[in-house]
Amino acid sequence: MNELRVYQLGQLDYATSLTRQVEFVDQRGPNTPDEIWCLQHNPVYTLGLAGKAEHILNQNYIPVYQTDRGGQVTYHGPGQLVVYLLLDLKRKAVSVKKYVHSLEQALIDMLEGLDIFAERNAGAPGVYVNGEKIAALGIRIRRGCCYHGISLNVNMDLSPFAGINPCGYPGMVVTQLANHGKHIDVNEAALALIPFMAKELGYENYTWLEKTQLTDHKNNLKPEALLTR
């Protein structure tokens, strides 16, 4: 199986999207095609599995969600591309180290295509431009399958990042595509990123699907009934 399905799901609340990811991983079988979900979230701070509340400096009415990914605290909001990857890494014989490297490389290559020089920061997962974080990474592996993924700041209100120590690093500065003169929307950013991501992860082909084609793998319900509450 080397089939990859890519969905653009619009703006979804964090709790529901996490529930759907866990359901997908629990219900998938050995022949289930891999999927990537591209979306935006309503404003939310998320804490990783070992996240420390002390890294939230000023909540400022933004909800905080304890999640099961790796890493510390980050912010999601409109204008940020979130990409959730639901892949069977065991089936693809991809190590966690290789997987993380591939995600970062896809982001670096995509940004290079926009004339933005980006790089890794040793010991701090993610992608950086001039030392400022433009993309965050947080994953979870269960039964050889991954979920969660990456977030890329496109054109958003960055002020909520001042209410946290981003990814647990005091004083870390974040940036976005708009700050570097690249005024594209989240959907355009997804269209630019996915080809690099598919290539890095070893998919020869992938299929873009409309959100109305995304069904619940347990109840066969459309996402409008599951992802918009």
In total, the chain counts a number of residues equal to 229
Whether the pLDDT of residue 221 is over 70: the answer is: no
Q: Identify the active-site residue in 38, 145, 146, 167.
A: 167
Q: Is the pTM of this model over 0.85?
A: yes
pLDDT tens per residue, range 112-170 = 999 999 999 988 899 999 999 999 999 999 999 999 999 999 999 999 999 999 989 89
Tokens of 46: 């998320």
What is the predicted pLDDT for the residue at 215? 45
Tokens of 21: 């990811």
Annotation marks residue 145 as catalytic: no
Q: What H or E segment, with its residue span, contains residue 27? A: helix 14-27
Q: pLDDT band for 60, please (50, 70, 90 cuts).
A: confident
Distance CA 135, CA 139 (A): 13
Residue range 84-105: average pLDDT?
97
User: DSSP E strands: which ranges in 175-214?
Assistant: 207-209
Distance CA 212, CA 225 (A): 11
Tell me the average pLDDT of the chain. Answer: 90
**SS3 of 17, please?**
helix
What is the predicted pLDDT for the residue at 211? 64
| Region 4-225: CATH code | 3.30.930.10
What is the predicted pLDDT for the residue at 15? 92
Closest among 122, 140, 132 to 166, alpha carbons compared: 132
- Per-domain residue ranges for the chain? 4-225
What is the predicted pLDDT for the residue at 225? 27
DSSP 223: G
Whether the pLDDT of residue 212 is over 90: the answer is: no
Residue range 48-56: average pLDDT?
89
Whether the pLDDT of residue 223 is over 50: the answer is: no
Any idea of the CA torsion for 143, 75, 167, 202, to the nearest 10 degrees? 40
